[in-house]
């Protein structure tokens, strides 16, 4: 059973703070993704990674960066959090061979 774990489920941060969202998968998947979910906007891709130390911009990368130092771990970084980054963030992973994406439980971030 694929497990994608997001370490923080609920966070409240102040404007200007640096925020780290961590994601770990246990299926040796090559691909990892960070999505943002907002009502009426669906799931929007922020960044993805096809391999260790590789990263690609998604549809809405502005204000975010990522780090993939180990295959199982993909971190999303908000260098200076802003109120418009209040959202639910979903990490996901998939194997190189298949399309099926497996999601984590999500991290609810509120920036005040």
Partner 1 sequence: GENVEQHPSTLSVQEGDSAVIKCTYSDSASNYFPWYKQELGKRPQLIIDIRSNVGEKKDQRIAVTLNKTAKHFSLHITETQPEDSAVYFCAAASGANNLFFGTGTRLTVIP
Note the residues at the interface with partner 1 (CB under 8 A): 4, 31, 33, 35, 40-45, 48, 50, 59, 90, 94, 96, 98-106
Q: How far is Cα 24 from Cα 91, in angstroms, rounded to an integer?
A: 9
| Exposure letters 52-74 (e unless 16+ CB within 10 A, then b) | eeebeebeeeeebebbbeebbeb
Tell me the Ramachandran region of residue 90: left when phi exceeds 0, alpha when psi lies from -120 to 50, beta otherwise.
Answer: beta
68 neighbors 77 (Cβ within 8 angstroms): no
Distance in Å, CB of 40 to partner 1, minimum: 6
**Please, what is the minimum distance in Å from the beta carbon of residue 10 to partner 1?**
11
Least CB distance to partner 1 at residue 95 (A): 8
Separation in Å, CA 1 to CA 42, 72, 82: 26, 15, 36
Measured from the CB atom, is 17 or 88 closer to partner 1?
A: 88
**Shortest distance in whole angstroms from residue 60 CB to partner 1:** 13
């Amino acid at each position: 059973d694929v497990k994608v774990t997001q370490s923080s489920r609920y966070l409240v941060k102040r404007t200007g703070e640096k925020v780290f969202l961590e994601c770990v998968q246990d299926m040796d998947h090559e691909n990892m993704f960070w999505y943002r979910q907002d009502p009426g906007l669906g799931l929007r891709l922020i960044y993805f990674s096809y391999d260790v130390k590789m990263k690609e911009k998604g549809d809405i990368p502005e204000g975010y960066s990522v780090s993939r130092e180990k295959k199982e771990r993909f971190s999303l970084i908000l260098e200076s959090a802003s109120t418009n980054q209040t959202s639910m963030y979903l990490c996901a992973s998939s194997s190189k061979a298949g399309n099926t994406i497996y999601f984590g439980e999500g991290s609810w971030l509120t920036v005040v």
